Every structure is written in structure tokens, then in C-alpha cells.
Amino acid sequence: MIYAIVSKLLSESLLSLYPVFVKNIGLPLSLQTWSRLFSYTIISGFFIDYPFVINALMTSSGILLSLITIIHIYVSYRGFELLESGVAYSLFYLYPIIILIIANKQFNPVILLALFGVFLLISNTKFEMMDIIKSPEGFIMILLAALTEAIIYFLVKNIKTTNHWNHIFISYFFGAILFSSYFFKNIITMNLTGRLSLSLIINTIIGLFGYLLRFFAISRLETSLYASLSYFGIVMVFIYGVIFNGETIKIKNLFGALLIILSNLLLL
């Protein structure tokens, strides 16, 4: 189990960089979405079990995983683009609780420690109801991002394979075909330098391996533990804010991080 826990924590560390990337890359959401779908599909295609994948792509779980993944990418990018970071993160990190609700798990009060820790971590950022009122679209998008994140968890868990490149390929294949067809004329005339090439590189290094580790953990961790460990991502978001944005560290922030870590330890 220790390998699954480490994988989950590493995946959260990598994937927590995505919102920073979305806000600062300066590419249209359509191209960001295409670069993610394309890079994940091409690279995972070298490592998959083709007989298994061909069969799984035609199952209801495989089709739903592909469809929900496309929706998740768009609503996540759009939500983080429209909302202030503090609001977006707070709403998105409802997804571990949504996972527990869907799984019909008995609610563990320890999760409340993690939620309070999240509040303490982001409370030094601007968090006002006006942010939501000004951007109802952003509010809806980030709630959909949380919901689809939870649904993806169950779909991946339902597709039984120990080769998690299979999960990645199934998740992104149809989306890659769809977006590549739609943007075909644009793609063949693209100059793969600058921001677009950076998008492809970041998606490959950060996103691809982040999701490979996450899918490894999904198949091996009990649902309550997986949900709790997800809050480690918000700790990494705060650390990245200090590193990249020069945010100051306050006592309440450290206390919040400790509460999140404590809640995870209590569920081990």
C-alpha cells in the first residue's frame, strides 16, 4: 500500500501545477485542450496492451471515461481561468467529498480537518462572494470540474487493468481524434514553437506522469484514504504559490497544512 500512497502524493504534487500553467501559458483553451489530449494519447500508445484497450474502448465504462474526460478538461480549464485562485481551489476540492458521497461511504469527521486546513491555506487570498456573482459561469464550471473528477475516479476503478497506460489511452483517445479532426487545418499550419510547444512539453512531463501515478493509486487505495490524500494537492498549490508568486507564509497557513497532513495520517 505504501507505493500507492506515495504515487497518490506524487500525482497531487504534479497535477497541482496545472492551474498555474492554465492561467499563465497564454494559449486559447481549445489549443490547451488539444495539446493535452494529443500528447497523452500519442505517448501512452507506445505502452498499452492493444487487445485490452480495443475491447475496453467499446464498453460503456470506456466510452463514458472518454466523454467525461473531455468535459472535465474543458470545465477545469475554464473554471480556473475565470475565477480567483482561492475561490476555484476551494470549490474544486469538494471532489473528495463527492467521491465519498457517490461511494456511499460513512462520512469520516477526519475529512473536516482537511477542509478546515484548506480554508486556512487559502484564506490569505481574495475570497469574496462577489467573485462568484461576477462569474457564475466560472462557478458552474469549477463545480462541474469537481463532479467530473469524482466520476473519473469510479470509471477508472471499474476498468480493471494493472497497466495504467491503458487507462490514460482510453481516457484521451476519442478526445484526441475529435479535437485533431476539428482543428486539422490549424494544426497542419501550426508553428510548434513558443507557447504551443511549451504546452505540449508541460502536458507530457507534468500531466501525463501525474495521471499515470494517480490511476495507479486509484486501483490500489481504499476510497476514504484516496479521498483524504487528495487534499495534499492543496498543500502543494500553496507551496507553488510561495515559489512562483512570492506569496508570504503565515502561521495560519502552516497550521492549515499541518491539519491536512494530520487528517491523512489519521486515515492511514
Distance CA(185)–CA(182), nearest Å, equals 8
**Average pLDDT of the chain to the nearest whole number:** 81
pLDDT beyond 80 at 153: yes
Distance CA 233, CA 18 (A): 11
> Would the CA dihedral through 118, 122, 124, 127 be positive or negative?
negative
Total domains present in the chain: 1
Q: What per-residue confidence (pLDDT) applies to 145? A: 94
Boundaries of domain holding 134: 2-266
pTM: 0.85
Give the length of the chain. 268
The model's pLDDT over 11-55, given as tens digits with 9 standing for 90+, comes to 988 888 776 666 666 667 777 778 788 889 999 999 999 999 999
Q: Are 83 and 225 in contact (CB under 8 A)?
A: no
C-alpha cell of residue 208: 501525463
Render pLDDT for 167-184 as a digit per residue (tens, 0 to 9). Answer: 999 999 999 998 888 766
